[in-house]
Amino acid sequence: MKSFLVATDFSPSSKAAALYAAKLAKAIGGELTLLHAYLLPTPVSEVPYVMVSVEELQKDNEKMTRELAESLFEQSGVTVKTMVNIGLPADEVTFQAKEIGADIIVVGMRGESGALDKLIGSTTAAIIRKSHIPVLVIPEKTEFSPVLKLTYATDFSYTMSTRCLSTLQSLMHDSPDATINVVNIQRPGEILSAEQIAGKVRLEPMLEEMKHEYFTIEDTTVEGGIEHFLAQHPSQVLVMVAHKHSWWERLFSGSHTREMAYRSDIPLLVLQDKD
C-alpha cells in the first residue's frame, strides 16, 4: 500500500482525513495525491447573478488545493501531489484512482446533522460502491495513531482475497504486536451455517501469521453489534469487505452500513473484493 489518493472538498472533515492519510503514508512509506473534484455552478432561477468563469474557478480551486498540500507537508513531512478536475466527485475519484494506480482512497466523514451531511454521505457511499480498491473513511476529529487493534467484521460467507489481506498487513506494518479482532454478529438464537463454518476454516490459515482472536456477538442489528463490541474492545480501525452479492452488498443497498459510517468514531476501512 504505497499510493494514497485523498478526496477533499476543503471541509474540516476532509482536511482531517487528509492529515490522517498523510501521517499514515509517512508511517508506512507511501506517497499521497490530493484530489479536488468540483461541478460548475448552474442557475436555479431566472434571477440574474454574476457568473464566475471556468478559468477563475479552476485557479481558485488549484490555489486552495496547493495550500492544503503545503499544510500537510508541514505537519507530516510527506510531499503531496495535487489534482483539480471538473466532474462528479465520486466518478472522478474512482476514475483518477485507477489512472494513477492508487492503492487506497481516503475520504472524510462527519456525523449526520442535516441535508448537506447526507449529500456528503451519499458521495462517500458512491465512492465505496464504485471503487475497486480499498476505501478508508475517516470520521471528523479522528487523529492518527498506530494500529494496535483492528476489528474485522465478517459473516464468514466468503474467503478473503490475498490483496485484501495485504492491505491489513500494510496497516499493521509498524506494530508487530498488533491484533486483529475477527467479529461475527449473529441474531439472537442463530448459529453459523455450514457455509459460514467453512468460510471461517478458510480464513484461519490466511491470518496465521498475524495475531488474531475470534468473537461472536449476538445482536438484532449488525451495526448495533459492532458498536457494542467496539465499546468493550477499543480499536483503531474497523474493517469490512465489499464483494459481489455479499452480506455487505445487501446491507449497503439499504441504510445500515451508511449509518455505521456515520456512527463510527474510528476509521472504517472497506476492502474491495468484487472482481
What type of residue is 43?
P
- pLDDT-flagged residues of the chain (< 50): 113-120, 247-255
Q: What pLDDT is attached to residue 55? A: 87
- Residue reference for cell 508541514: 74
Distance CA 118, CA 265 (A): 17
Q: pTM value? A: 0.87
Q: Label residues 207-242 b or e (16+ Cβ within 10 Å = b).
A: beeeebeeeebebeebbbbbbebbeeeebbbbbbbb
Distance CA 209, CA 15 (A): 35
Q: What pLDDT is attached to residue 52? A: 67
> What is the three-class DSSP state of 265?
coil
Distance between terminal CA atoms of the chain? 19
Q: Label residues 118-153 b or e (16+ Cβ within 10 Å = b).
A: eebbebbbbbbbebebbbbbbbbebebeebebbbbb
Interval 225-242: pLDDT, tens: 998 999 999 999 999 887
* CA 202, chain centre distance (Å): 25
- Residue reference for cell 498506530: 146
| Three cell numbers written together for 244 | 459481489
Q: What pLDDT is attached to residue 39? A: 85
